[in-house]
Structure 1
Amino acid sequence: MAEKRLDVLIFGATGFTGKYAVKEAARLSKINPFSWGVAGRNEERLNNIIEEFVPEFGSIPVIIADIEDDESLINMARICKIVVNCCGPYRFYGEAVVKACINSGTHHLDVSGEVQYMEEMQLQYNKAAQDAGVYVISACGFDSIPCDLGIIFTQQKFKGEINSVETYLNFWTKHNKRSAVIHYGTWESAVHGLNHDDELRDLRTKLFPNKLPNFEPKLHPRGLVHRNAISAGWSVPFLGSDRDVAYRSQYFLYKHDKVRPAQLQTYVTLKSILSLISLTCIGAVFSLMTKFKYGRSLLLMYPRFFSCGLVSHEGPDPEAMENTHFSLTLSANGWKDKLAEPTDNHTNSMDKQMIAKVSGTNPAYGATCTMLMISALTVLREAHKMPNNGGVLSPGAAFAKTTLIDQLDKSNIKFEVISSIEK
């Protein structure tokens, strides 16, 4: 008789994100048991992680797999139903694991915020994943569950038809210690991602051959800096992956479920002019340096210096992470009545606005790993509610009809409607 597969296997468990995924797997398995294990290339370090973070789970399976060894990756994937991949940057290390999972009939989830990687995986492997009955889902962390699922939540609660959504991201801390807030791995992914952002035009021409219809009224960007009553402070365009990931979900839901796609703009709010100036300077230097090989080398060699202390190889300390809070406010505008076809244009002015919010603590790592592990368990338990029997999907496309939002809400990642106004 064939050995029973583990439900979930955490690959890259000795990395910074992987450690917190292990802690979260242990917490969730006590609430609603499932079988899980850890994987990586160093058995001693894997055992140390179990001993340090989850000593009460001493019998957790340890699987040896190396990103440079395709056979070991296939053997790893065959042992489990879902690989939770914490081994980035995914531009360099993601594709091999995706291929191994598809070849083994194993689902693959990760926390990538690397737009080129995610869209390349969809272009290259969507059909193969569907044929294998496998879900490949990236961006299952802070990039970009709050935004992507927040938009899905708002669309479900709107009870009408949304024309546009603007999102405003806020962070604040309740500690006085100065420490890094981002781990080096995230910085490294950003360096390589920005260097290759010119790949996106050709990639999207292939991935989205049929553009979405031109809906009216148009949602235009608000400019480089603006103020908005729903998010106190100074707001600037958010350059993370949120808008790109959410667009993929809206595109999918329009094509498959005839849902009118929301036009999207994403912003981040800074509380002071000093913070705005500091972030602008860091961003300008970072963007310029990624265009040159020597500049990229300097950014990767001295992350703390070029980020003004925001990034380090050690990452943030646990106290700082637990005292960091986030909220994503979503402002949706549209109509209280829904038309028969998503391509129909309303003849009356927009007459409904809804404000929703997604909030939590420890966004970069604690909440990220909560989102990641609950996403994996949702695939494990609710695949019958997910579309197409497989494929390379964004979180919104994959989980729109599941209970993922409710499960996250129970784990202190709160989704709520703040106000709903009909004119």
Structure 2
Amino acid sequence: MGVGKGAQLLRRRALCLAQTEEFPLYVFTLKAEEILQIADISRVSRDEAGTLIGYQRPEVRNHIKEIVDYLDSDSPVFPNPIIMALSSRVQFQAIRGNRMPGDELGITGTVTIPLPPSGGPKPAWIVDGQQRALALSRVKRRDFPVAVTAFVADSVNLQRDQFIRVNNTRPLPRGLVTELLPEVDSPLPPRLALRKAPSALCDVLNTDEKSPLYGMIKRSSTPKERNSKAVITDTGVVAMIQESLSNSSGCLYPYRDVTRNETDFDGIVHALTTYWAAVRDTFPEAWGKPAKRSRLMHGAGIRAMGRLMDHILATVPPRKPDAPELIRKHLELIASHCHWTSGVWDGIGMRWNEIENVNRHIQELSNYLIRLYLNARAEL
């Protein structure tokens, strides 16, 4: 099988597995050089309107080089398939009499893939195996046979859904999965579903021009030219929101109607923007700096100030007209004891830049800030 003369078609023997009627699964082989000829690697980015596009992580050079070195060795064995999403332009034709008696699990046939013209859109996208595909494009043996598992899906949402499910048990960058979750429409495993709303809220805080955190949260799709302003990692913000939403003592928890499975997202966004605007105004010298220069922008600082938020907003309703001023007054109770950019935290005996984003440091910093706040309030 190969390229059809004149028609520019790539044909391969394939096995069709009808796991679902809507999305049949195909198993076939490609040469190493053919993978990136027919398939794109869709990396995470955002369009001009801020909509998330793509779903792949950036290229990892060292990992790719290791794969290339192995494939160029004397006796490489490469059982790992490349998983692709195929456009509806790809066709499958069953072979007559292809079923073996007693084996109804698969149908043999031919998959026909149209080769794209130079610069034209490719008929497939890589859902899993980005690094392997890049490595295979650089190996010496161009005809090295590679196993491919593919399903037909023109929808990027379906591709993202499969990407998250395939990579959920692997060491995928947490921030990438976190950013993709709000874009997935189908039901998710409980562990991932719990992170969907906090990630969507994180996205609003980062893209709403009225938000004090506008453009400051670094996500997997953040362009390199914006990295200087994006000083807060999204995982810290998502964890801060998730903790307040899921804990019955959290200030965001009352915005959930558990019995109806409804959430007042507008109320949550208002509460978060009001509180963090007050934090910005209380600590202007520590705001907007990289985490290595300000622990307020650090994961530990975000988490600790989030836990303090639960106590302050339990006292100050965010919808009150004077809420911004009242929250600033509450923050001023602890402001003089904070050492975000220099000095030593007296209550925990650590220099400002010794605090790391680990559970013990987050807990110690949180407890100290809450203790300071509660003691200061008791003395009023």
Question: Which of the pair has the greater relative contact order for Cα pairs under 8 Å at 6+ separation?
Answer: 1
Query: Could you say which structure has the higher strand fraction?
Result: 1
**TM-score in same-fold range (> 0.5):** no
TM class, shorter-length: under 0.3
Query: Could you say which structure has the higher helix fraction?
Result: 1
